[in-house]
Amino acid sequence: RHTCHISAVFKYGQEEEENLRALISNVLDPLRVKFGAPIYVSSGFRCAKVNKDAGGVTGSQHLRGEAADLYVTKMVNGKRVTDKEAVYKIGRLIVALGRFDQVIFENVGKDDLLPEWIHVSWRRKGTNRHNMLKKVKTFRVRASTQESF
């Protein structure tokens, strides 16, 4: 047993570990070499509670160790921020390298059309679908104040 996010408990086994190793060797390591700069993983394997808290779907590949969420940062005025142009570039590099099950350009802005992070997956067993998707950032508006939050 391993602790997952403060109090949630999960079990991962050999299957999930082998899936993660396959994701790293088939997708993440070749991407890192080609990109030539640090790439950060914000989420890899998730237990069910963390997946739910993160807004993940019920059948998420994160639950099986088949997916990772990636981002890149840069310094702006002394602060580290997401480098959305570099995030877009790593998404395009994954596609160009051709070894992926699914690439999702996540939280794409309406104005700049750039993603905040990339979701990438790899199936160790079965066929990799080579799906490419884009999820556009949505804004909820409070009815009384018309402020986005």
The token pair at 90 is 């790593």
Query: Which residue, 109, 61, 114, 58, is CA-closest to 90?
Result: 114
> Residue 128 above 70 pLDDT?
yes
> Residue 41 above 90 pLDDT?
yes
Average pLDDT, the chain: 86
Report which secondary-structure segment, H or E, holds 96.
helix 84-97
CA 122 to CA 104: how far, in whole Å? 12
Beta bridge partners of 70: 41, 118
The answer to whether 42 touches 71, Cβ cutoff 8 Å, is yes
CA 31 to CA 125: how far, in whole Å? 21
- Which amino acid does the sequence have at 125? K
Predicted confidence (pLDDT) per residue in 77-99, tens digit? 999 999 999 999 999 999 999 99
CA 102 to CA 128: how far, in whole Å? 8
What are the phi and psi torsion angles at 43 (to 5°)?
A: -155, 135
Rounded to two decimals, the pTM is: 0.83
Cβ count within 10 A of residue 72: 20
Q: What whole-number percentage of the chain has pLDDT above 70?
A: 85
DSSP secondary structure of 15-50: HHHHHHHHHIIIIIHHHHHHH-S--EEEE-S--HHH
